[in-house]
Amino acid sequence: MSLPAPEDMKLLAALARIALDAGGAIRRIEAAGITARTKADASLVTDADQAAEDLICPALAALLPDVPIIAEEAMSAGCDVTIGPRFLLVDPLDGTREFVSGNGEYTVNIALVEHGTPTFGVVYAPAKGLLYAAAPGGAFKADRAPEAEVASEGWTRIRCRPRPSGPLRIAASRSHADPQTRALIDSLPVDACISAGSALKFGLLADGQVDLYPRLSPVMEWDSAAGHAVVAAAGGRLLRPDGQPLTYGHPENGFKVAGFIAEGAPAPA
């Protein structure tokens, strides 16, 4: 099984370094005490969301000059960014409800998108010390404390498991259940349904712990792109609810994703 090219692994390690540093900033604020407030779109935000974004965006700009950055808090504040065929998507703290609740199921998400497809992705869970990372040719996971050394040579290769012929293991949102997704899950043969917050569900799929992760309610591109990259590099795929491939870079839709179905490797022939 081939590995990503050395230059791709170098870039991926640099993206992971930024995510780990952002995780450290988040954990410091978490330890000091979390104050949440509501944004105009009724979603929650904390000082940690902004602090992480303030660390991530300058670091990405230094790493990949001239690559546009679409970041959640900047976009919420009305920032207007012109994208090209290559751009970055950043969710500095995915799962703010989980962060506020104290259950640790929140992540830092960074993705590089090229021609509509996420090619590099980092999903980092600071409270769990768990890193998922992907580049063309491979997906990985590693135990890494916030601000620890990246040491990409110590990462473990992960793959989606082949879809079983019988009941499925399914990942579902802990805080954003919707009737359409619930109805879909209820229509399937289910062995187990695992609830988790944030982009951690993509990691469960990429690591072969579940077979399917459906989300039929809207999310934003920065919510799914990094996890999409990890799942795709692990042998899975993300589709729109109509079965077409999910693509990114749609300012005409406000960078909104109208739901998706993330699935693992196909069943053996």
Is 60 exceeded by the pLDDT of residue 65?
A: yes
Higher pLDDT, 74 or 3: 74
Cα–Cα distance, 30 to 121 (Å, whole number): 24
For 171, residues 6+ apart whose C-beta sits below 8 A from its C-beta are 193, 194, 195, 196, 201, 204, 205, 210, 212, 213
Residues 263 and 239 sit within 8 Å (Cβ to Cβ): yes
pLDDT digits (tens, 9 = 90+) for 189-219: 999 999 999 999 999 999 999 999 999 999 9
- Confidence category of residue 268, pLDDT binned at 50, 70, 90: confident
Nearest partner of 160 among 267, 67, 85, judged by Cα: 267
140 contacts 132 by C-beta, under 8 angstroms: yes
The pTM (predicted TM-score) of the whole model is 0.96
**Mind listing the domains of the chain with CATH numbers?**
6-158 (3.30.540.10), 168-263 (3.40.190.80)
By mean pLDDT, which of 13-17, 80-84, 87-91 is the weakest? 80-84
